[in-house]
Homo-oligomer: A and B are copies of this chain.
């Protein structure tokens, strides 16, 4: 004979039944549950006693009691509708309601929230967990419409896409033209290059190329819209995006940034409309990362008032130059030699071809051939054999030759001058970051759409097979990567905002550091994510028709171009060291600790034993914990890097030797800084965001991102006793529950990425 359960107990029975099935609850979690139970107004005193008695981890319920609980659920659930059984909380409340005769308070918001909190504390976020129960009840939660999310995907899209939305939409409207439609079967490079050129010229004709240029040449002086256009192209066709970037961003951008008004007037209008095609000839075969030591020379001859551009040897040839086969002109970076003195790297406009597209005297161009991807881009090698151009072709904003043949520059320090000239790459680096994320988003949208449709293996013979999205390993594969993609996207958008709002020199220097770092992490993340999406789609991901393989091949080089990621992270670390040194001219550690003490209170809050053991769900999910933990690592790594560098340099190592010695440490410090930067920037955005379901989901994404980072670097935290084994294990559970909690909403988040999922849908 089964006992009768009160409405209050019934309301909790489904989560108790399922929650007990996995005995992972810690004592501290149980305490939290007891506290919540004690505060629930819909429970009687007897209810509370019963529930607390049955949540003692030392005394789990026996088989007999389990059976009673299950029978009671069966008995009461059999008349419920399928929507009432949609999840465990609704089921409990519905059972309570139908057995209660007085005024019904069981579905009050506070009750629902409290029961949900307990379910979360019990780790019941994973739908697979209670699928067994639902199946036994004969109501299959699986059939719930996949379009029901905790937020509105369109509003989420709007919330996430706050940068130059008009330009995005305008670009998308242009891309709707059939000439941009991609046939995945076309892989021949010559055919792809021709198609890409045609498409580029169509974009230019429609005005996308001139966005960033001055109004005086017909542009809109709107770098932001140019960047948004690039990002939008990258969702769809990375070859087109890269060629667009080369033509308008690198080539035109160099003329804009390094040239004088006369150069702007001479070239930018035609460039912006794609009637003058140009390339950006900086990298050489022998010198990629180390641009400062390129070998191409531009020697000034005062007699003829001409510059002689020359490649001294094969390795000094310009390499990987995009647009090299289609261009009539190039901006060439070379060591400027005036009066036998080398003034360092400068940019010179050098015509490559005549009006019949024949190479000019002294120019040699070679095709880089087929590549892993981006085969729509015509990359080539270019050598110069004593090619003469007028002195006026020197882009002379930061260095000029006067009528007497004397060199002068507004920036006296040659090193500083070099870095100012290179800062023209900043916008491009932000674009490379957003473009890589576009490819990652496309791949994620495809993989998620597939995982919500593909089934494999039935729980039991004869039952419907399980959706692959319901497998925890699949959730682990996709959800943290989705979260990181969105957080990086947000950080790059905020950075683009800053970059396009006329920052002063000091602000620009910081933006450069951030752009270098975000470019590195976003592109590595994209490579990793696209790979994971390929595998998540199995064989389907390998077929060209399903696009991921193209995204993989095309985006792969993003980790290398516009700065090799490892080299960029060293730049970031050097920037951090410089900033640090700006604060401390003294070498006294007291000052250092005071600096950190002011800002983060290391020694007070975070390293006391109470904090390092605190392991409640609320604590581990709090911004106080997550943000503080990320901050601690970043700051501690920086302090120890400074310490090590000083010690090495004190021992007479050259700075470069010391850098090499600390290279791994530097890279990790830079990574910690950028990872936290993205976290911080999003936390900052929450302050001005209205409280909506969309904000809720973004906050959960942000939390998952933070928890994911701490998990990635867990061994560091444990090694440094920032937290101990117990907290680390609690963190693992919280992280897993957070991942699982996205199961219901992941389809909606994918919709909000801005990818056209109707187009990018895995074929059957």
Q: Is A657 an interface residue (CB 8 A)?
A: yes
User: Nearest chain-B residue to A24 (Cβ)?
Assistant: B644
Q: State the Cβ distance, A475 to closest chain B Cβ, in Å.
A: 9
- Residue from the list B131, B187, B471, B557 in contact with A539, Cβ < 8 A: B557
The answer, among B315, B559, B660, B719, for a CB contact under 8 Å with A535, is B559
Which of A66, A189, A553, A660 has the most chain B CB atoms inside 10 A of its CB? A660
A146 CB-CB contact with B under 8 Å:
no
Whether B456 lies near A287 (C-beta < 8 A) is yes
Chain B hits for A287, CB < 8 A? 456
How many angstroms from the CA of A441 to the CA of B209 in the assembled complex? 44
Q: Report which of B21, B458, B648 forms a contact with A653, defined as CB distance below 8 A.
A: B21
Inter-chain contact B456/A657, CB cutoff 8 Å: no
The reply to whether the CB of A584 lies closer than 8 angstroms to some CB of chain B is no
Q: Does A409 contact B (CB under 8 A)?
A: no
Indicate if A38 sits at the interface (CB-CB under 8 A). no
Known contacts A473-B566, A559-B535; A457/B289 CB under 8 A: yes
Question: In chain B, what residue has the closest Cβ to A183?
Answer: B370
In the assembled complex, A369 has its CB within 8 A of some CB on chain B: yes
Whether a CB of chain B sits under 8 angstroms from the CB of A28 is: no
Q: Are A459 and B654 touching (Cβ within 8 A)?
A: yes
- Shortest distance between the CB of A440 and any CB in chain B (Å): 15
Query: Which B residues lie within 8 Å of A456 (CB)?
Result: 287-290
Among A76-84, A268-276, A325-333, A540-548, the stretch that binds chain B is: A540-548
Contact between B549 and A371 (Cβ–Cβ < 8 Å)? yes
**A544 near B654: Cβ-Cβ < 8 Å:** no
**Which A348-374 residues sit within 8 Å CB-CB of chain B?**
368-373
Report the separation of the CA atoms of residues A373 and B720 in the bound assembly, to the nearest whole angstrom: 44
Would you list which residues of chain A between 362 and 399 have a CB under 8 Å from chain B? 368-373
Interfacial chain B residues near A656, Cβ < 8 Å: 457-460
Chain B residues near A23 (CB, 8 Å)? 647
Q: Do the beta carbons of B370 and A764 come within 8 Å of each other?
A: no
Complex: chain B residue closest to A663, CB-CB = B472
Given contacts A371-B544, A372-B534, A564-B538, contact A660 B290 (CB under 8 A): no
Residues of B within 8 A of A460 (CB): 654, 656
Q: Mark A660-683, 1 if CB is under 8 A from B, else 0.
A: 110110010000000000000000
Closest to A466 in B: B660
Task: Name which of A244-252, A605-613, A631-639, A721-729 contacts chain B.
Answer: A721-729
The A126-168 residues at the B interface (CB cut-off 8 A) are 128-129, 131-132
Q: Which of B457, B552, B647 contacts A290 (CB 8 A)?
A: B457
Chain B positions within 8 Å of A531 at CB level: 527, 531
Q: Are A560 and B544 in contact (CB under 8 A)?
A: no
Q: Which of B290, B654, B720 contacts A132 (CB 8 A)?
A: B654
Instruction: Flag whether A621 is at the interface (Cβ < 8 A).
Output: no
A476 close to B (CB within 8 Å): yes
Residues A290 and B557 in contact, CB atoms below 8 Å apart: no
- How many chain A residues touch B (CB < 8 A): the figure is 94
**A664 engages B315 (CB within 8 Å):** no
CA distance in complex: A471, B553 (Å): 27
A129 CB → nearest B CB, Å: 7
Q: Is A188 an interface residue (CB 8 A)?
A: yes
Q: Which residues of B contact A690 (CB under 8 A)?
A: none
A551-570 contacts to B (CB < 8 Å): 552-553, 556-557, 559-561, 564-566
Instruction: Tell me, in angstroms, the Cα distance from A534 to B373 when the chains sit together.
Output: 13
* Chain B contacts for A556, CB-based, 8 A: 534, 542, 549, 552
Interface status of A293 (Cβ within 8 A of chain B): yes
**Do residues A543 and B660 form an inter-chain contact, with CB atoms below 8 A?**
no
CA distance A185 to B556 in the complex (A): 19
Q: A132-B653, A539-B557 are in contact. Are A720 and B725 (CB under 8 A)?
A: yes
Which residue from chain B places its CB closest to the CB of A657 in the assembled complex?
Answer: B132
- Asked whether, in the complex, the Cβ of B715 is within 8 Å of the Cβ of A371, the reply is no
Q: Name A477's closest neighbour in chain B (CB-CB).
A: B566
Of B128, B373, B539, the residue contacting A288 (CB under 8 A) is B539
Q: A369-B185, A539-B561, A656-B457 are in contact. Are A21 and B725 (CB under 8 A)?
A: no
Given the complex, which residues of B lie within 8 Å of A369, measured CB to CB?
Answer: 184-185, 543-545
Within 8 A of B (CB), among A96-132: 128-129, 131-132
Bound-complex Cα distance A736 to B663 (A): 12
For the complex formed, measure the closest distance between the CB of A648 and the CB atoms of chain B, giving whole angstroms.
Answer: 7
Report A525 CB to chain B, min CB distance, Å.
13
Whether B539 and A66, one on each chain, are in contact in the complex, defined by CB atoms closer than 8 angstroms, is no
Per the bound structure, the CA–CA distance linking A544 and B372 in Å amounts to 6
A20 interfacial contact with B, CB 8 Å: yes
Nearest 3 CB-CB pairings of A with B:
A372-B549, A718-B718, A714-B715
A128-B660, A542-B560 provided; 7 other pairs, C-beta below 8 A? Answer: A21-B651, A128-B661, A290-B465, A473-B667, A535-B560, A539-B560, A552-B556
- Can you name 24 A-B residue pairings with CB atoms under 8 Å? A21-B648, A22-B644, A22-B647, A66-B652, A128-B661, A288-B539, A289-B456, A289-B538, A290-B456, A290-B465, A293-B457, A320-B539, A369-B543, A370-B545, A371-B543, A458-B656, A473-B664, A473-B667, A527-B531, A549-B556, A714-B719, A715-B728, A718-B718, A718-B725
Interface residues in chain A, defined as those with a beta carbon under 8 Å from any beta carbon in chain B: 20-23, 63, 66, 128-129, 131-132, 184-185, 187-189, 283, 285, 287-290, 293, 314-315, 319-320, 368-373, 456-460, 465-466, 470-473, 476, 527, 531, 534-535, 538-539, 541-545, 548-549, 552-553, 556-557, 559-561, 564-566, 644, 647-648, 650-654, 656-657, 660-661, 663-664, 667, 714-715, 718-721, 725, 728-729, 732, 736, 764
